[in-house]
Amino acid sequence: MSDSPKSGEPSQVGREEQLVVGKSNEPEAVVITSVEDVKQDENASSEARDEPVDRGALPAAGRSVAFPPVEVDSGIEEKPTGGLNRPRGVEMRRELTQEERDLAQAGYDHLEEEKNEIVNKGEDEMDKVDIHEHRLKFDELENALETSMITKEPSLSRGLELDQAAERLARDGRNVLTPPKKKSALRKYFDCLLTMFNILLIIAGVLEYVLLGIDFKANFQNTYLGGILIAVAFLNAFIEFYQLQKADAILASFLAMIPPSCRVIRGGTLTTVPAAELVKGDIVFIRMGDKTPADLVIFNATDLKLDNSSLTGESEPQERLALPDGSTNRPVEAENLVFNSTLVVSGEGYGLVVRTGDHTLIGQIAKLTGGESGNKSPLGVEIAHFVMTISIIAIIIALVFFGVGLGTVYKGKAAATVTFAVSVLVAFVPEGLPSVVTLLLSIAAKRMAAQNVLVKDLQGVETLGALTLLATDKTGTLTRNQMTVTNLWNGTRMATAFQSNNDAEETEAFSMATPGMAEMIDVSALNSKIKFDKADIPFEQREILGDATETGLARFAGRQLPDYDEHLKNHPKVFEVPFNSTNKWALVTVKKVHADGYLTTYLKGAPERVLAKCATYLKEGKQTPIDDEFRKGFEDAYSYMASRGHRVIACAQYLLPGHLYPENYAFSRSEANYPDSKYTFIGLVSLEDPPKHGVREAIGTLRLAGIKVMMVTGDHPKTAEAIARKINLILGDTKETLAAKTGRPINEIYDDEVSAVVVHGDDIDSLQGFEWDTIFAKDEIVFARTSPKHKLEIVKRAQALGHIVGDGVNDSPALKKADLGIAMNISGSDVSKEAANMILLDDNFASTVKGVSEGRLIFNNLKRSIQYTISHSTPEVIPQLLYVIVPIPLPLSAILILVIDLGFELFVALSFAWDPPESKDGLMRLKPRKPVNERSIMSLKKRALRRTRTLRRDSETQSFVHPSRVSKLVTKLKSPFTRIFWEDFFEKSDDETLVDGKLLSYAYLEAGMLEFAAGIVSYFVVFLKHGFSPSDLQKAQKAGVFFVKSSPDFINHNGQAINATAQVEALAQAQSIVYLGIFIMQCFNVYAVKARFTFPFGRHMVTNLYNFVGIFMGACLGMFIIYTPPLRVVFGGSFRLSPLYWLIPCAFGILLLAWASFRVILLRKGMQESRVKDIQGLMMFPTMRTMSMRSRQ
């Protein structure tokens, strides 16, 4: 069975449809078939290739697809999945309409426009750069920098002595760039101050002082109100500013723990030092994946290429060479100069540090760039939208109340009406919300940091909880990146490198005497780029600097060779081509004499690539032409190794004939002047990189949380699939495994029978829109043999379907593009850590589960906090309405409303940050809050298709011409008057937003009305106790002369005369009980808003002690304001209010809890539907410590 990738296709393939096996010869059409590669005999394959097929495109949901085959030019060529024949899949005769094709492609068009966008730097600025060291010859450079280097054997260079380096560091300073200019603390404070809520408060406060200036005596009380409004705005801004500064300080302290490092030769020893401690004259070793730590002049290089696009705009990697006589080109074009902060994309080299810090190229042009981005996270956008919406509603309602009040109660008294409108505005706006949000996020970020999860952006905390798809690398992320040789195959026999009960019975113990084994040891030792920290200690004690695969091979070779160093010395390298992600092989030519010549070339790499270069193989030590029998043995051995989750490396050699390749032959990479074919296949070596402990349970937990976990790796598909099956990433069948289990041909397996797909990287570039849709429709996805470019493309395609993507791959472009890039601290590169939004400080993938859980919890707690906070708007606003319409004496003054919003409310709202999950499973069994499903994808595609059709194309280039800003603004203003706008607005969605209809219904209509009822009933009871019936209150208020110190006596419904002092006291107590009534109701509401899955009773409701602290502080504040006599002047309360009146809101509070319980019952069905169903086959126990387990198929 071949190990080919396959695509996931939309389900529901009709059994009755006419099927045909074959391929199309029409390149412009779309083949609907399977991506499965299956092993078929030659006759079946040739027959399949000759059959014609109708072709068409497929919409996003509903049919089985297969990718077109790869044509072969020769009998031996790499197949995307290691198979020797590209198998056929199921194809359907169905022509799709152009509309269906357009819909399938919709949503991806913008990705094509984004390709190859380059930021070009000005030529003038580059010409002004002051760098000249690249012009010097090697000996001149060595003398100028007073260092010691050996160009032929750079690893033997002495470099600077430790005391020299320390002296130069003290003299020249650290190798760091001056940070880009950031916003000053004052500017940040004003950014916090100039939010919509604060602006409204400041305007309202200024208005009160304007009224004070117009008529000081009549508006004297506005002195307090205006001052408090303005002070509240500044205090609100300060709280937010302080938390942001504190968060920045925490981030800076953690980033200081993960400084970039580099490999330097000092005192003859290769060591790792912080990049900030580099000095001029240091010798630095750089290799693929590194970020260049300073400006270097290269004096020894092997296939060294760098990505200079961030500096020069060059889209292609630039080769860098050692030039003994220097370069006469300007610095940016010098072939021997590499620049600080550029990425090494292939090869390796040694360079001499010539510039550090601000004197580097990037340091000299840094003034032209830099600054901070203003991008907002999804949470930031939602909060901003909510704030703006509430502010607009509040302004409109305040203006309406102003007009009504002017025509009724105040009868033309503009000053008094303005104060009344301000109180309505204050009642409607939750002034403390921005501070509460910032505080909650800061607390969550600090809590995550304590769990070794560093989030660079506060609002990134919540983004992690909103993930719908997590793309992750295999090596070093899911596995330990500690390769160990397990098995070797010499073309005829399988051997094991260690004793294992999991090997087949016919597997032999490894022996150097077995034919082919010595040659594989030579390949492992001689075709290697590893370095040692020290060469003067025994091999077993050395630290190996290199990638995990080469380290594993070198360790194995070192154990078999009598003297590893002597072996390398006896067979020196004369030429090499390092491994890169394009070739997927590495080649080295060494001086090793044989019967026909002086040189031997060793090749190692991906088995399919190496085999394609071979014409013979070693059979019991003799070269034998490759035949079908060997191919079958190769496939069986390859499958045996890869299916166990091992990385498989093929080895080959070429004994170069002396008459064609003399000892002094001039090999060249640039002209491909080296042997590229006619190799002799030696054998296969497998290495195991076991999964990290905790990864299996972590992936299982994420899948139960509705998050699709997707592996994106450069490994072979079978290796990737085998590891995926060990760690809960693949549980179901692929078409291959199902065919093997049932004995059915692969072309009879329908797509809706399988749930997993393994896609080969070679297929990615040719995928069309409908094919991407069908891949992402699968539950279990693995992308194998991928390059960094593929990884970026995968992230973009997932985002185009609406996925919120968390990215844990090791490539910075994909990390940067993802909604939340996740990097490893210990094993991750400096570039990946710089590009990521989140860093796992302990390299533990399981920490992402903590992060997701924390992100979901903070969103849930933010929602509770907002729900709690805006619940008091109704009991504050409706009494103002009654005051105007009925009318009755004002139940709640503007200043008491402010005390509610920014007094006890702030304490209690903040305490929600420490709320634990409501149930044991918590929020980790719920679907993501913005799930990606067929309905959401179709909605996105329809909108994208609509936008695409409205854009015009350039007549020459056929590229989209984007509308101007004015045109966009006009379209936006006109949109509310179109049918499509309202269709989109009312379109049903499964998304859960921070502030949704359910939350508003509860806050304003359910809890809000109960709180209003509690306040207004208490209000009337207090007045009734003082002799005022509701009709008396209406009569007195209409008169407009009562409830002030100078008012006449009022005759109530019983004929009793109530003097001015009693009137004022009654109003003070009535307002006091309304204020305390809202506070008491909100105390009950603290627990009512928590009731989502369970009733608001029991231990889980009282586990958050901070709720009690917030309530206690709020109670202290309330008692202080009401029961402190001197404060009556400011707040109008009464210390004579009897505590017995508190029982009225308490009764309503119990009613609120009863309603919350009934609400849980009403919404329980919806809550159950939002839970992720159990996944059959999940293994929620630790991965075993044994090296491997033989797969049981």
Kindly list the catalytic residues: 473
Q: How many Å apart are CA 939 and CA 937, to the nearest integer?
A: 5
Helix orientation angle between 1007-1025 and 1030-1039, rounded to the nearest 10 degrees: 80
The encoded tokens of residue 851 equal 């992060």
Alpha helix locations (H) across 571-710? 607-612, 628-642, 695-704
The encoded tokens of residue 100 equal 């269906």
Q: What is the edge-to-edge ordering of all strands in the sheet holding 708-712? A: 453-455, 838-840, 820-824, 805-808, 469-472, 708-712, 780-784, 756-760
Q: How many Å apart are CA 69 and CA 72, to the nearest integer?
A: 9
Measured CA distances, 944 to 62, 116, 466, 939 (Å): 20, 22, 23, 9
Between CA 238 and CA 245, with CA 239 as vertex, the angle to 5 degrees is: 85
Residues 6+ apart with CB under 8 A from 856: 465, 705, 922, 923, 924, 926, 929
| Cβ–Cβ < 8 Å for 212, 223 | yes
**Could you give the dihedral angle defined by the CA atoms of residues 192, 195, 198 and 202, in that order, rounded to the nearest 10 degrees?**
100
Measured CA distances, 667 to 299, 301, 572 (Å): 19, 15, 15
Measured CA distances, 818 to 472, 761, 806 (Å): 12, 19, 6
Q: How many Å apart are CA 361 and CA 364, to the nearest integer?
A: 5
Handedness of CA 111, 115, 121, 122 (dihedral sign): negative
Bridge partners of 489?
Answer: 494, 684
| Cβ–Cβ < 8 Å for 1081, 1017 | no
Q: How many Å apart are CA 909 and CA 981, to the nearest integer?
A: 36
The encoded tokens of residue 39 equal 């092993």
Taking only Cα atoms into account, the Rg of the chain, rounded to an integer number of angstroms, comes to: 37
| Cβ–Cβ < 8 Å for 734, 758 | yes
| Cβ–Cβ < 8 Å for 322, 151 | yes
Handedness of CA 913, 915, 920, 923 (dihedral sign): negative
Strand-strand pairing, 469-472 and 708-712: parallel
Between CA 915 and CA 923, with CA 917 as vertex, the angle to 5 degrees is: 135
Q: How many Å apart are CA 1163 and CA 523, to the nearest integer?
A: 66
| Cβ–Cβ < 8 Å for 434, 388 | no
| Cβ–Cβ < 8 Å for 147, 136 | no
Q: Which residues of 142-175 are buried (b: 16+ CB within 10 A; e: fewer)?
A: beebebbbbeeebeebebbeeebbeebbeeeeeb
DSSP label at residue 1096: S
| Cβ–Cβ < 8 Å for 508, 496 | yes
Q: Could you check whether the bond before residue 691 is cis, i.e. omega within 30 degrees of 0?
A: no
Short-list 592, 754, 756, 617, CA closest to 679: 617
Alpha helix locations (H) across 757-893? 761-764, 769-776, 788-800, 812-817, 830-835, 847-870, 873-885
Q: Which class for 219: exposed (0-12), middle (13-18), buried (19 or more C-beta within 10 A)?
A: buried
Q: Which class for 948: exposed (0-12), middle (13-18), buried (19 or more C-beta within 10 A)?
A: middle
